Every structure is written in C-alpha cells, then in structure tokens.
Structure 1
Amino acid sequence: MKQEYNVTDNKVKISLAGSMYVEDAAVFRERLMDYANKGHKLFHIDMSGVDYIDSSGLGVLVSLHKMALQKGGELALYGLRGVVKELFELTRLIRVFDIRQ
C-alpha cells in the first residue's frame, strides 16, 4: 500500500493507494500515532486510490477517529469508491465517519 503524508496548517493530509491488509494497517497505525503523539488532531485521508481495506484497516480508522474526537479534532475521509465504499455502507461506518467528496 502506498501512503503519502503532508502536514499543512496543523492538518495531517494523507493519501492512500492500493490495498490495505494487516501488515499495512500496522504501519499505518504507527505513522498516525506518531502524528497524534506530536499533538496533531486534524486528519484528512484521501482514500480515492484504495481498492480494498480489511478489518484491521477499518480498526485503525475507528481508533484514530475516536482519538481525534477526544482531543477536539476530526478525521475526514475523502474519495470512498467501489468495494471500499460498499464496505463502509454495509458496516454502517458511513454514519460514524465524516465522509466527504
């Protein structure tokens, strides 16, 4: 999985591409927690390039969402499409996350 990170105006912008499996989710979690531990609480994730995400990837997003809200921040997801969008709809996570176009 390809992961690109950029911090602008204290907002962590992340672009993901490819498939997210257990191994990728662990690396993703570590990077996100590094940013969170440095005081960042605004996360915008572009998922338009993601073609698959497993339960461990969803778990990372749920954990980050909870942590960001507790710190008065936000987690916004962009570009959900195809199977990934269907998964968010089936699991009703579409109601939990701030989904943007």
Structure 2
Amino acid sequence: MKHSLNVSGNYATVSLDGKIYAHDAGIIRDELLEAIEQGVKDIRFDLSKLNYIDSSGLGVLVTVHKRTIEKNGRLVLTGVQGMAAEILKRTRLDKVLHIE
C-alpha cells in the first residue's frame, strides 16, 4: 500500500493506493492523530485508488472521524468505489461518514 499525507494549515489530504491491512492502518492512524494534535481539523481521504480495506483500516476512519469532530472539523471520503464502497455499505459506515 502506498499513501501520502499533505498538510496545509488545519487541512490535510490523504491519498491511499492499493490495499490497507493492519500494519498500514497503524502507520496512517499514527500520522493522522499526530497531525490532528498539531492543529489539523479537516481531513479529506482520496480513496479512488484503494482496492481493499480491512477492519483495521475501517477503525482508522472511525477514529479519525471522531477526533475531527472533537476538534470541530470533519472527515470527508472521496473517490469511494469498488470493494471499499461495498465494505462501507455492508458495515453501514456509509451512513456515518461523509462521502462525496
């Protein structure tokens, strides 16, 4: 899995490419929680190149979603398609997370 995190002020964009498993999810979670502690409130995930996400990856989305709300910000998912879209629907996270 490849990912990139770009931070500009209180805004961050995360691009995910490939498949997210537990190890990758931990790295992304730690980077994002650190960014939130440093003032990032709004986070946009680009999932257009994501092929698969496991429960650990879903946990990251939920954790980051909760933290952004605590900071009066928000998490937005873009480019959701394929297996990622199906998993979000099956877990009903598509009803909780903001998807564009």
TM-score after normalising by structure 1: 0.95
Distance 1:69 1:33 in 2: 13
Distance 2:6 2:92 in 1: 29
Distance 2:7 2:67 in 1: 18
Distance 1:38 1:96 in 2: 25
Query: 1:39 aligns to what SS in structure 2?
Result: coil
1:22 aligns with 2:40: no
Displacement of 1:9: 4.8
For structure 1, list consecutive stretches of 5 or more residues without a partner in the other structure.
none
Which residue does the alignment assign to 2:47?
A: 47
Which residue does the alignment assign to 2:93?
A: 93
**RMSD between superposed Cα atoms in Å:** 0.9
Distance 2:31 2:96 in 1: 22
Aligned identity (percent) is 42
In the alignment of these two chains, the number of paired residues is: 100
Letter in 2 for 1:60: V
Which residue does the alignment assign to 2:59?
A: 59
Structure 1 residues 35 and 9: CA distance shift in structure 2, 3 A? closer
Displacement of 1:8: 3.0
For structure 2, list consecutive stretches of 5 or more residues without a partner in the other structure.
none
Runs of 4+ more than 4 Å apart: none
Tell me, yes or no, if the aligned pair for 2:17 and 2:49 is still in contact at 8 Å: yes
TM-score after normalising by structure 2: 0.96
Letter in 1 for 2:56: S
Moved more, 1-10 or 52-61: 1-10
Which residue does the alignment assign to 1:2?
A: 2
Letter in 1 for 2:57: G
CA deviations 1:60-84 (Å, max 9, x no partner) are 1101101101110000000111111
